Amino acid sequence: MAEHHLRKKKLTPFQTIILAFAAVVLAGALILMLPVSSAAGKFTPFHEALFTSTSAVCVTGLVIHDTGTYWSMFGQSVILLLIQIGGLGVITVAASFALLSGRKISLLQRSTMQEAISAPKVGGIVKLTSFILKATFIFEFGGALAMMPVFIRDNGARGIFLSFFHSISAFCNAGFDIMGRSSGKFSSLTSYRSQPVINIVVMLLIILGGIGFLTWEDVYTNKFHIKRYRMQSKVIFAVTGLLILIPAVYYFLVDLRVLPMQERILGSLFQSVTPRTAGFNTYDLTLLSSGGKAMMITLMLIGGSPGSTAGGMKTTTIAVLFANAISVFRRREEPHLFGRRIDNQVIRYASTIILMYMTLFVVGGLCISAIDDLPIGTCLFETASAVGTVGLSQGITPSLSIASEIILMILMFFGRVGGLTLIFAAISGNHPRVSKLPQERITVG
């Protein structure tokens, strides 16, 4: 009887999402180990291939080896495929193949898809998946075409591959670059910091990918009738705008004031946009002031928006906590945003998410600092980058020990899959309690 029960027990949507991501990471690592994947034609150690695969699938961008010089064209193509799968989400990609082959999608599969892309309801999920695929293709192809003239001018025929690689990497908020051969190892886009086309296109792709497919579907459905937008879409646009504008002004006035005016404007905007889980940089991050680095860490932890290619705690999480704080200050019963009340369950989730991310960020940084005897500030920058799936680095990742690499891999996986997904997957068998314990007052603050 027990055996029959175990056989019948199916994976929950949360467990399916985690296992699917893990399977793709492992498959990617095994392929990247092969001699055909490296430029030198030699085997890559498993832990290095696993780190690269984890970083690609979790659309992070932290690397041990320079992507442009260490990996062969085949290896770079594998990394690009992993980025695309990770950006769209493994479940979305699997559902897309099912749709293209004409197979029917079961209710459980639809439920898993709903969790994977943070959709509000199961109804219309197949239509939404179709919209996601079309939007992704349009944005990525459009971005590649826009950058192609510049990359072809500088790199010849290889510029075509460069255009598509960086367009997909930017839209998926991955931050992987293959500029090492022409601009030097780990250079990212620093050689293009004064080039308006590359800067503007990459920034737009990062923003488009980080805002989320649900928001774009809302815009597509309601066009310019902003009043008809869902409250979530309005929150995302408002918070995204503020998180671009405020840091850009700071970098313009403080960190980048020595640059010529055009570079200063482009650099300020770019350094404001890219920490939101993208991971490209056009400026040497080690030269940033302490305040500039702290600003970047904050942006990395916040990340993008739900149902997007970005990671991090999410813009909506921060908005909900701020709304809750304001309601406490004003002694209101319930917090609200854009004329809508926020459910108490959402506030509990938001509080849990921020506590989990902050704990992982700090504990991870302390552990790496102790293991590799590195300054805590530099380590915290790296762990914020990993858990926020950003990819910006102070340059210490290639020299870290295997133990520290494992810590970063765990943080990257956690950041991409999502804290609540992992928790719900782990405790899926526990049913919520109906009975309530006696209540007693506790003083906080």
CA 137 to chain centre: 19
- 74 to each of 37, 48, 183, 185, 193, how far by Cα in Å? 6, 17, 21, 19, 28
Q: How far apart are the C-alpha atoms of 166 and 105, rounded to whole Å?
A: 33
What would the pLDDT profile of 99-126 be if each residue is shown by its tens digit? 666 666 666 666 666 666 666 666 667 7
pLDDT over 50 (residue 2): no
> 1 vs 349, which has greater pLDDT?
349
pLDDT at 113: 65
- pLDDT for 288: 86
Q: pLDDT tens, 163-172?
A: 999 999 999 8
pLDDT higher than threshold 60 for residue 77: yes
Q: What 3-state DSSP class applies to 341?
A: strand
pTM: 0.87
Interatomic CA distance for residues 271 and 292, integer angstroms: 10
Statement: residue 78 has pLDDT above 60: yes
CB 289 within 8 A of CB 255: yes
Task: Classify each residue of 208-238 as buried b or exposed e, where b means 16 or more C-beta atoms within 10 Å of its C-beta.
Answer: bbbbbbbbbbbbeeeeeeeeebbbbbbbbbe
Q: Please say whether the dihedral angle defined by the alpha carbons of residues 165, 167, 168 and 173, taken in this order, is positive or negative.
A: positive
What string of DSSP letters covers 23-57?
HHHHHHHHHHHSGGGBTT--PPPHHHHHHHHHHHH
Domain ranges of the chain: 10-426
Per residue in 187-238, pLDDT (tens digit) is 888 888 888 999 999 999 999 988 888 888 888 888 888 888 888 889 999 9
Per-residue model confidence (pLDDT) at position 382 = 92
The pLDDT of residue 191 is 86
For residue 377, pLDDT over 80 is answered with yes
pLDDT attached to residue 8 = 46
Other C-beta atoms lying within 10 Å of the C-beta of residue 121: 8
What is the CB neighbour count within 10 angstroms for residue 61?
30
